[in-house]
Structure formats: C-alpha cells, structure tokens
Amino acid sequence: MACCGAGLLGSLFIDSSFGSWYESLAKPFFTPPNWVFLPIWALLYGMMSAALAIMWLKDPHADEFSGWVPLFLVHLIANFGWVIFFFGFHAILIALIDSVILAFCIFMLICGALEVDKRVSWLLAPYLAWVLFALVLNAAIWFLN
C-alpha cells in the first residue's frame, strides 16, 4: 500500500500541461513510447510491495527507525520526488539528481536484503534496472534540452 501511495502522491503534483511540455522536449532515440511507462511502473510497484511485505515480517528492526524497512519508506520520498521535480516543476536537473539518490537507495536496499531474504533482492533488481535506465534517459533529456 505504501508503494502505490507514493506513486499516487507523486501523480497529484503533476502539472496539468505536463503532456504538452513532455512532448515538446527533445528526447533521445531510446525513449520508450509513453504507453510503456504505466504497465512497467504497475509491475514494479507490485514487486516493491511484495519486497516490503517480506522484509516487514523478517526484519528484526522493522519497528525501530533503523534497518531495512525505514530505509525503504524513506526511499519512497525520492521515488515520488522525481515525479514532482520532473513533471511538476519541470526541473530536469533536480530530477536527475533525485534519480541518482533513488538508485543509490535501491542499491542499498538490495544489499541490505541479501542478509535477510535473497528473494527481496531479486524482487528489487528489476526496479533498480529500470531506475538506472530512467536515470540515463533523464540525463539525456537534460543534455538535449
């Protein structure tokens, strides 16, 4: 629920003219078609939710502000922050910086999960791969514009 909530929260900050703004940007040749983003994010949010559920049950520090679960919840701020910066404020460079922070957080979550349950790392690996792709795409859009 927290994962989907982050996605929904970020979407509330999207400027109503984002479609025309985004379409007006110069984009690299490897930009996926717009219809690809929703199913991929839906799948990734589902996998993130499963990872969170597993770790919530297994992390001995889940009830404290230390350990994996709190880091996961904090990383969601960077997740929805990217949407706010990129689509809401049209701040491409700040969104790029946010995506670096997000990728680092996901990497740390994957490393932390290895000690508790390797399935969680496998659930988060596609998320990291997609965020790294998005980071490169964001960097290319910033460079081209």
Predicted local distance difference test score (pLDDT) of residue 4: 53
Domain membership of residue 43 (yes or no) is no
Domain membership of residue 63 (yes or no) is yes
Judging by beta carbons within 10 Å of its beta carbon (0-12, 13-18, 19+), is residue 120 exposed, middle or buried? buried
Domain of residue 75 covers 2-10+48-144
CA atoms within 13 A on the CB side of 81: 17
Contact of 117 with 83, CB cutoff 8 Å: no
Predicted local distance difference test score (pLDDT) of residue 115: 85
Tens place of pLDDT for every residue, the chain, 145 residues?
556 555 555 556 666 656 788 999 999 999 999 899 999 999 999 999 999 999 988 866 666 656 788 899 899 999 999 999 999 899 999 999 999 999 999 999 999 999 889 999 999 999 999 999 999 999 999 999 9
Both ends of the chain: CA-CA distance in Å? 36
Domain membership of residue 33 (yes or no) is no
Domain membership of residue 102 (yes or no) is yes
Backbone region of residue 28 per phi and psi (left: phi > 0; alpha: psi in -120 to 50; beta: other values): beta
With a CB cutoff of 8 Å and minimum separation 6, the contacts of 126 are: 43, 44, 47
Predicted local distance difference test score (pLDDT) of residue 12: 62
Q: Give the chain's domain count.
A: 1
